[in-house]
Structure 1
């Protein structure tokens, strides 16, 4: 027997009840509030029963269920009734029909005749069956219909998801059903307690999802929007949700800029569209922001990613790089539900650098000196006598081991939620603490959230969402190839001791300190252990993030929505540099302290009106108009002083320092006003159309350039509803098939607040002598450009959504083209201009073309539920124009520029010389030199066997800068993610794989570790790999302290394959027996173990193939700057509900 709920237009009916219109966070999730006092008015003449039932569902929260084979709703009826109760309406409607009805909560069960209990039931021959119904997340489900199979007898689960039903002995099956969930049938047998877990019926087809300033059925979407399954991310040991997004959405490339606790990420949606910041806009509960590190992962309810311009144009100037909508959890009607979650984990380094020990260092150093002398014919390099017997050395100092550790991570979260028809609430408190795998780095965050919604009347709803957080981050110097902790610990020689000075050392007795700079074999070196142990670099932030919203249903179809949100941040940056030993004879006696105190105040005020109506059953129309204003102010004060009496923890304050005070400050603000509109139309859910327009006026541009206009158009065609498609008889295979086409324009104003103005400033560096007195001077600090205008991104998207095999296989395929015009960038100016910064201008065009594929397969075999999720994406980035300017050089290192951005090539492509091989003998060197003009050498007059041979591209017989070329791109060929899930009885397991194929890495580490000058350590296998005679190697030059041939210039030798496959997350869980849990007052309990970044399969020789520049610049993508590596974490957790 199949019970069917009469199909209604859920997006319209829900909006008529809860008036959820506009902007993300006020989504009333699965509203179950119910009141039998609702009044219904009907005025129909000679229409079908189906049409009348549709109207009843539209005006109320009642849903009809019936057996299709026995109930015919096509007969016509006439009914006129006003302000009547549901009982009065049903009595009038079915009075003269062969049908009877039963009301169970908000469910109305129709049946044939006047019986709801089969005639063959003996009231004395039954048994009691009870249990609990949950979803796949083990959350209890109130309102689930529980029916005895082949009868009209049933019940509904209560607010705690529990049911109790009397079942005749001659009936042996129960049927569980709920809107949006798969119907589940279970055999009773001798069981008296049956717990059931329901699975989603179909992922995404009739699901209502959040779009810009509203919601829409996913089946009616015409834009490229991806929904993130957040359940698998909440228990990941990361500090930010952006980190949890890695590999989970097609077309979204997320890379970690730093593996340190609280570190940032680089998020790229559909490629790189500008040489500036490419991160998307985050919108949390309707408030835009660029930093989501304050957000508690357990508070997140759902996430949508808007990718193409037809979806993001409604956000105008903020949508050029895509939009990520995040909605936090809200309360639901019912008894209070208390949830407690906790996990503890241990993190360590997943890959250690393989550098030489003391014996290898000594051997390589003297071998390099020997070969260097032979190369240059001079005694510029001296042997170190003790290195002549390298066997005298033991392992030496392992600097990497000294700075790394096993680190703890733990997270606790407790929440309470509930409410009634008039008030719904949620409160949560969480604490996250994570130590870094490198000593001296840690992150702590305390978060408190309150979300409330008040229904003041049938028409007025008031809601507020607030989040208060306090975060503290201790950092180390990283991403630095001159003084960074990671870099120094890898390259510092193992001969130098890493311990404190001996107790009997009079210098230590006097000062008791590490040497910050150690006197090593060849020179004084930066001491990473001293830097960690003595210096302080900390960031502290107190943040308020929240909004207040008001919703008023003006009429049945028209509603008004207003919201005001604020993001207040107060951040302090504290730095302390102690006095330290520079070498064995001299000491830096002056310590210093500095403090930066910044305050950000950002606000947004939005007002929208939405009209929704269904005309003549098949015409679904929605219109939105609105106005938004937002603004912000940034203030910072920076102060520093020197000379604190001692390096004591109690004296590391500005007030304790006695000399060289310096105080600076800065203030900037911005404003934005916008007007927006959107129209959605759907005919029979078959032909779909969306159009939007937004006008933005920004304070960042001069008069005449302030306004930008951003339109979009998109349409959809549900082919599976066409008659010709039905004739193909594919209904057993294809459940739903839709084609989407969209076009739109979005803007970008991501520049400094005063870029169009020329600013002047004073300060100590601008004083001058006038009339024998020091006078404060002023000078320009930038060059304004009043012609600056909006950077515009135009995109076109073609997509296909499919749903196959009874909803077991769903997915989408998208092809897109995205072109950025009037790109905002800084033009280089001559140093003679005397400007500290280059002016902003509009110059250049960039194009990204690509595809995205996403698919999910889920099925059930006996008691095993399983699903497979796959996403694959690829893009090609091309620079179309640089406004007639010169190519942009980037990735500057000691060895020179390493990237070049040029028309016809991708942004930040690697640039340098091509290594053809290694000169094996002098004859080969002579042949190469013979190709050059007289008295000119092919590479250098000191080139000899064992040196690299670089390719002469221009054919002039010599190697010059003209022989440089493009060496490879940091952009991957494609990226992918695979998510596997299985559930059997009370066990569940999930496995998530993240991968990237193609894309090169410029391993700049080699420049330092292959110098062989004794200043830096070398790889442990260098002697085996290096050329040491004819035929021994054609890929690695000879070990030599001389670099006369400039073997270390930027070249293809640095380029490595950046492909990788990473086991990103593995989790195994077990749900304890509910009956046992309930005996101690617990409704649900789940325990789990898991791991993060367990294994990485890659051929890259560096620490981590997943690279992103700390500054976020695309000009430096794919360059290994000695980034803080990601940690491998093993954890265990517990989740309890009361």
Structure 2
């Protein structure tokens, strides 16, 4: 496909283009990202063999074998000139250099576009520049983009890392860029050969990390922080954000509550901090403190696992995670940070760059040990063992129908467990399967001089190892940052997620107010004997003792019950950041954010699973609001090249509330699998709960002398509405000292110090407490 650009075209559409200017700008935000360069397109190869054909035919062949699209003015570029080409597994750049090398035509690669242009006089008076690009180990780097800065003139390096540019001015600057490498610029000057070494994007102590209400160079951080970057977790296909922290740092304990898809993940930082309160850290996503109940959403109901409240955030959107572990690092968050703080930063666009990424992943899950590996008995083995045990105690062996019926507490009317019905049932085969998941992720990023945009869509469908455990998630994200005027930055970050979590029960024999047979995997382990049959009459589909709880096939059949948890969650915020031009180093930032979720729990069980022989159901919607507002100032300035002072001063307010409604119903039409029948008994209840307000004032000061000696301190005063007025306010403070002793002259003379790059020793003291236990114990 060719795109023709001609004077006549623009003349005939000039008025239309003017009218559509605003629309085109919006479309270009997304469309231009389609022309971004990734690592694969930079090294595209072609196989072409032509003898005396037009350039137009060569272009068609290149477009047919690659993702490249040619752009040119057909009135200026001679496409009818005939050439001969023989290229076997050669890069597109090599082919084009052979075609246009001695002509008045140059080419430029911009993303997946190749532009053909005539040489200007200035270009024709330039010189040829060649060179080689390698990595830090000396290895050749193919596919590196070499561009004349400020123009669209450029090439990519071949398989040996070689590049060649013709007609380059001595005043030009060459820009070398490659995915995963630091961009490097070199002034051409008098050089005809330029060899470049590109360095990897390293994560070291000069890296900037989030510390709460700002960022700091890692070497200046005296508190204990573990930083996890996207490259550390990009190959870890976790189902939730918290699972990404597994094995990523010392003092971070991550454990899955169970293997149910979407189940909560327990994260503890440096162990348990209270015998009364929970040990969950504070999660802050893009500056937004979010709700994260320790047991998940609707956890524990009839043995279900609940749902991970972080499951509606796409792990592929994560740019970095900083874990604040000690009081020196967390005290800036006051009472909410006593269990540690986890700062999550999501991806954003980067200026001058754009890309579209789509990835799909598939996987399977299974038990590490199945029933045979553990050594569960079959029906015959179980009877033999029981008979031996009874005989050892002088008891008679199990022989009669009465003996067998005594093994079942809740019996189904009309059914008797007799000797002739003794079976050899493997209950694990009845309720388990090989689990599987599939996940699709699409992300689009684009950067401009005055802003960046990142957006993504994620879909995950996971089936657990237990029949009936199914989890689906759909999320969407938009992160946009703009600089509308000088010194002012603004942006918005929005994440919208939906999840559909269906689970099977795991609560055993009939009990509780609803009195139903919940069965479950635990019952298969301990109560469902292999001598029990699955069917009373298989030809009619009649289960054996379905209301007993021992028939886990009946209890785990999703046609007989429904436990569904739907979650709708929106996490979003906007910010304004203004750098004061009249006070060097001072900026003011304000953030408004909200975390709003709606959880809808549907539960229904048919009468065959209840000794009362009536259907039963529950409907419980819950809405949670978490609103947060803050404004703070950051100051950072260096005096006389040796004294660096940074400070933060601000205030923050938070509102949290929940609203619940629950409706119980009995004896409703089972085919509807929901409420709505006027004859069904309904008991509604509801109300508000967990409402609290927090007002805070905070400050932090950091002083660094001679780039090696550091003093830091922070203080926060929290007021929490759940306390009585005289006990409502409390103060949290910390202080620390740091010494970057690898910067000392006596250390630089030691060869082994170079192995550690920057070495920081710190002494810290701080106070942290937790107000959440008041909510739990009264």
TM-score of the superposed pair, with normalisation by structure 2? 0.69
- 2: CA distance, partners of 1:447 / 1:701: 37
Residues 134, 196 of structure 2: 8 Å contact kept = yes
1:553 and 2:574 matched: no
Q: Secondary structure at the match of 1:204?
A: coil
- 2: CA distance, partners of 1:295 / 1:134: 37
Q: Name the residue aligned to 2:165.
A: 166
Q: From the superposition, tell whether residues 234 and 481 of structure 1 become closer, same or farther in structure 2 (CA, over 3 Å).
A: farther
Q: Secondary structure at the match of 1:704?
A: helix
1:298 and 2:333 matched: no
Q: Name the residue aligned to 1:530.
A: 555
Q: From the superposition, tell whether residues 212 and 500 of structure 1 become closer, same or farther in structure 2 (CA, over 3 Å).
A: farther
Residues 133, 162 of structure 1: 8 Å contact kept = no
Residues 591, 643 of structure 1: 8 Å contact kept = yes
Deviation at 1:588, TM superposition (A): 3.7
Q: From the superposition, tell whether residues 383 and 199 of structure 1 become closer, same or farther in structure 2 (CA, over 3 Å).
A: farther
Unaligned 5+ runs, structure 2: 1-124, 158-162, 168-173, 185-193, 293-308, 405-418, 511-517
Q: Name the residue aligned to 2:624.
A: 600
Deviation at 1:477, TM superposition (A): 2.3
Map 1:526-925 to 2 at 5 A.
526-533=551-558, 534-555=560-581, 556-580=584-608, 588-645=612-669, 647-648=670-671, 651-656=672-677, 658-668=679-689, 669-726=691-748, 733=755, 735-751=757-773, 826=777, 840=778
Q: From the superposition, tell whether residues 405 and 501 of structure 1 become closer, same or farther in structure 2 (CA, over 3 Å).
A: same
Higher relative contact order (CA 8 A, sep 6+): 1
Residues 604, 630 of structure 1: 8 Å contact kept = yes
Deviation at 1:747, TM superposition (A): 2.4
- 1: CA distance, partners of 2:678 / 2:613: 13
- 1: CA distance, partners of 2:723 / 2:215: 33
Residues 402, 529 of structure 1: 8 Å contact kept = no
Equivalent in 434, 442, 446 of residue 406 of structure 1: 434
Q: From the superposition, tell whether residues 393 and 451 of structure 1 become closer, same or farther in structure 2 (CA, over 3 Å).
A: same
Q: Name the residue aligned to 1:266.
A: 266
Number of corresponding residues: 585
Deviation at 1:637, TM superposition (A): 0.2
Equivalent in 494, 518, 525 of residue 530 of structure 2: 494
Q: Name the residue aligned to 1:220.
A: 220
Q: From the superposition, tell whether residues 221 and 670 of structure 1 become closer, same or farther in structure 2 (CA, over 3 Å).
A: same
Residues 403, 529 of structure 1: 8 Å contact kept = no
Q: Secondary structure at the match of 2:759?
A: strand
- 2: CA distance, partners of 1:728 / 1:307: 32
Deviation at 1:478, TM superposition (A): 3.6
- 1: CA distance, partners of 2:564 / 2:250: 36
Residues 361, 438 of structure 2: 8 Å contact kept = yes
Q: From the superposition, tell whether residues 731 and 745 of structure 1 become closer, same or farther in structure 2 (CA, over 3 Å).
A: closer
- 1: CA distance, partners of 2:177 / 2:677: 71
Q: Name the residue aligned to 1:288.
A: 289
Deviation at 1:140, TM superposition (A): 12
- 1: CA distance, partners of 2:628 / 2:590: 11
- 1: CA distance, partners of 2:661 / 2:206: 52
Deviation at 1:737, TM superposition (A): 2.3
Root mean square deviation of aligned Cα: 3.9
Bigger mean CA offset, 666-675 vs 344-353: 344-353
Residues 595, 625 of structure 2: 8 Å contact kept = yes
- 2: CA distance, partners of 1:158 / 1:398: 69
1:334 and 2:334 matched: no
Deviation at 1:372, TM superposition (A): 2.7
Deviation at 1:361, TM superposition (A): 0.6
- 2: CA distance, partners of 1:742 / 1:259: 39
Q: Deviations over 1:819-867 (max 9, x none)?
A: xxxxxxx4xxxxxxxxxxxxx3xxxxxxxxxxxxxxxxxxxxxxxxxxx
Residues 145, 156 of structure 1: 8 Å contact kept = no
Residues 133, 197 of structure 2: 8 Å contact kept = no
Deviation at 1:165, TM superposition (A): 3.6
Q: Name the residue aligned to 1:239.
A: 239
Q: Name the residue aligned to 1:369.
A: 390
Q: Secondary structure at the match of 1:325?
A: strand
Q: Secondary structure at the match of 2:557?
A: helix
- 1: CA distance, partners of 2:615 / 2:472: 28
Q: Secondary structure at the match of 1:373?
A: coil
Q: Secondary structure at the match of 1:206?
A: coil
Q: Deviations over 1:1052-1089 (max 9, x none)?
A: xxxxxxxxxxxxxxxxxxxxxxxxxxxxxxxxxxxxxx
Q: From the superposition, tell whether residues 370 and 265 of structure 1 become closer, same or farther in structure 2 (CA, over 3 Å).
A: same
Q: Name the residue aligned to 2:107.
A: none
1:485 and 2:510 matched: no
Equivalent in 500, 503, 507 of residue 539 of structure 2: 503
- 1: CA distance, partners of 2:593 / 2:181: 35
Q: From the superposition, tell whether residues 233 and 480 of structure 1 become closer, same or farther in structure 2 (CA, over 3 Å).
A: farther
Q: From the superposition, tell whether residues 748 and 406 of structure 1 become closer, same or farther in structure 2 (CA, over 3 Å).
A: same
Q: Deviations over 1:597-617 (max 9, x none)?
A: 100011100100111111001
Deviation at 1:723, TM superposition (A): 3.3
TM-score of the superposed pair, with normalisation by structure 1? 0.48
- 1: CA distance, partners of 2:633 / 2:609: 68
Deviation at 1:401, TM superposition (A): 1.2
Residues 481, 487 of structure 1: 8 Å contact kept = no
- 1: CA distance, partners of 2:143 / 2:621: 48
Residues 134, 161 of structure 1: 8 Å contact kept = no
Q: From the superposition, tell whether residues 730 and 653 of structure 1 become closer, same or farther in structure 2 (CA, over 3 Å).
A: closer
- 2: CA distance, partners of 1:160 / 1:440: 56
Equivalent in 516, 519, 523 of residue 546 of structure 2: 516
Q: Deviations over 1:252-283 (max 9, x none)?
A: 01111121010011111101111231011111
Deviation at 1:128, TM superposition (A): 5.8
Deviation at 1:158, TM superposition (A): 7.7
Residues 693, 712 of structure 1: 8 Å contact kept = yes
Deviation at 1:332, TM superposition (A): 1.4
Deviation at 1:640, TM superposition (A): 1.0
Q: Secondary structure at the match of 1:293?
A: helix
Q: From the superposition, tell whether residues 481 and 236 of structure 1 become closer, same or farther in structure 2 (CA, over 3 Å).
A: farther
Residues 648, 699 of structure 2: 8 Å contact kept = yes
Deviation at 1:678, TM superposition (A): 0.3
Q: Secondary structure at the match of 1:590?
A: coil
Q: From the superposition, tell whether residues 602 and 747 of structure 1 become closer, same or farther in structure 2 (CA, over 3 Å).
A: same
Deviation at 1:134, TM superposition (A): 13
Bigger mean CA offset, 491-500 vs 725-734: 725-734
Q: Deviations over 1:721-747 (max 9, x none)?
A: 223334556555554322111111122
Deviation at 1:145, TM superposition (A): 8.2
Unaligned 5+ runs, structure 1: 1-121, 147-153, 169-173, 185-193, 519-523, 756-825, 827-839, 841-1138
Q: Secondary structure at the match of 2:369?
A: coil
- 1: CA distance, partners of 2:155 / 2:445: 15
Q: Secondary structure at the match of 1:532?
A: coil
Q: Secondary structure at the match of 1:747?
A: coil
Q: Secondary structure at the match of 1:565?
A: strand
Deviation at 1:155, TM superposition (A): 7.3
Equivalent in 486, 491, 497 of residue 458 of structure 1: 486
1:471 and 2:470 matched: no
